Homo-oligomer: A and B are copies of this chain.
């Protein structure tokens, strides 16, 4: 672990520091560096301010040999990165004719004349390599000083990605060999999973790390190896965990639960539909956000109003009156009704009180029934949730997909 190549990311801009925009750049750069074997040790965000940018550079370079900086390269008065670089490296801002020619060419392509303001972007630090940007006016720069490398690129996402991917990575030293394996699970929390694989985890060598990323009944496990010749060992441990966790694992790599269920349905040439009350279409949305879902997803009915449960899904009025809309009886009737109505192999139904209003003494907010119906019958579950409305909707939707997947496996 001694020779790990360490990198840092510095993002510059007031808009990030007041939370006006989410910083997607640093996630992309982190993933890009990670794939190239650079371990990102610090991600720092600072305001549009020369002393703070310079301080940020120092803080990042304390623990890293490579620094990627983004933002602050535009032509307006709050763009200060070139000045900060010049002060930091004690060099001058000088006219860069090649940049000026590129800016003129870009502007002419849009039928415009470059203005005085565009000239401001043509002054560059005289101590840097200037890397031309094919997608915008501000070039990237590279400084090499005392075994440290400092890269500066614009904050506009496509320009940043273009410069790093197409122009700069080949100019940087190679990183360490690093490998990741991703295991996706659903149905148990991280604590239970942790118990199940305690001994495997304890046997991991120090240069293989395991991380748990939980979200609403789902946990993603990520195994990462650092160093040479760890690939085989990494695959062995990954396989051990997959075998131990069994049916809790719905996939590996870049997949989500609704896509995994979609692949099962496609393989079995089966179809699905939903009848959603409290989730209001969110289960359907999760299913249809997968490309190609029209192959197995036929449709849904959302009988939000009491009467529509009867008119659209033939739930009997007596049943609704006797048990109430939020009941095992009604959610079962909804699942079975929509399965017949749409002619699908599998159906999901939800009915509950997502909150914050709608509670009764017997049925507090978060009382939610879910049901899945298939060729061998219907199963239902009662959820008692305590989250806010949106989280209750999302949790319920995931829980219904988990129940469906369990039935599909057990009844295969």
Q: Are A195 and B387 in contact (CB under 8 A)?
A: no
Query: What mask results when residues 337 to 356 of chain A are scored 1 for a CB within 8 Å of chain B, else 0?
Result: 00001100000000000011
The docked-state distance in angstroms from the alpha carbon of A11 to that of B40 is 14
Determine how many copies of this chain the complex contains: 2
Q: Known: A22-B27, A34-B18, A294-B304. Is A158-B391 also a contact (CB below 8 A)?
A: yes
Flag whether A127 is at the interface (Cβ < 8 A): no
The docked-state distance in angstroms from the alpha carbon of A115 to that of B135 is 55
Shortest 4 CB-CB distances between A and B: which pairs? A281-B281, A280-B288, A19-B31, A19-B30
Q: Are A302 and B304 in contact (CB under 8 A)?
A: no
- Give 22 CB contacts A-B under 8 Å: A11-B43, A17-B30, A17-B34, A17-B40, A18-B180, A20-B27, A23-B23, A23-B27, A48-B211, A59-B59, A75-B191, A76-B191, A76-B194, A77-B201, A78-B209, A117-B194, A135-B386, A280-B285, A280-B289, A299-B302, A299-B304, A302-B302
The docked-state distance in angstroms from the alpha carbon of A299 to that of B312 is 10
Q: Which residues of B contact A384 (CB under 8 A)?
A: 109-110
The docked-state distance in angstroms from the alpha carbon of A292 to that of B355 is 8
Flag whether A149 is at the interface (Cβ < 8 A): no
Q: Known: A47-B41, A214-B156. Is A291-B356 also a contact (CB below 8 A)?
A: yes
The docked-state distance in angstroms from the alpha carbon of A368 to that of B328 is 39
Q: Are B27 and A19 in contact (CB under 8 A)?
A: yes
Flag whether A16 is at the interface (Cβ < 8 A): yes
Flag whether A412 is at the interface (Cβ < 8 A): no
A residues near B, CB below 8 A?
Answer: 11, 13-24, 26-34, 39-48, 52, 55-56, 59, 63, 74-78, 109-110, 115-118, 134-135, 156, 158, 162, 180, 190-192, 194-195, 201, 209-215, 222, 224, 276, 280-285, 287-289, 291-294, 297-305, 308, 312, 341-342, 355-358, 384, 386-391, 393
B76, B194, B224, B282: the one within 8 Å of A281 (CB): B282
Q: Are B289 and A302 in contact (CB under 8 A)?
A: no
Q: Which residues of B contact A280 (CB under 8 A)?
A: 281, 284-285, 287-289, 293, 297
Q: Are B115 and A195 in contact (CB under 8 A)?
A: yes
Q: Which residues of B contact A43 (CB under 8 A)?
A: 11, 16-17, 23, 43-46
Q: Are A355 and B389 in contact (CB under 8 A)?
A: no
Q: Are B115 and A191 in contact (CB under 8 A)?
A: yes
Q: Are B308 and A299 in contact (CB under 8 A)?
A: yes
Q: Which residues of B contact A209 (CB under 8 A)?
A: 14, 78
Q: Are A291 and B357 in contact (CB under 8 A)?
A: yes
> How distant is A162 from chain B, measured CB to nearest CB, in Å?
8
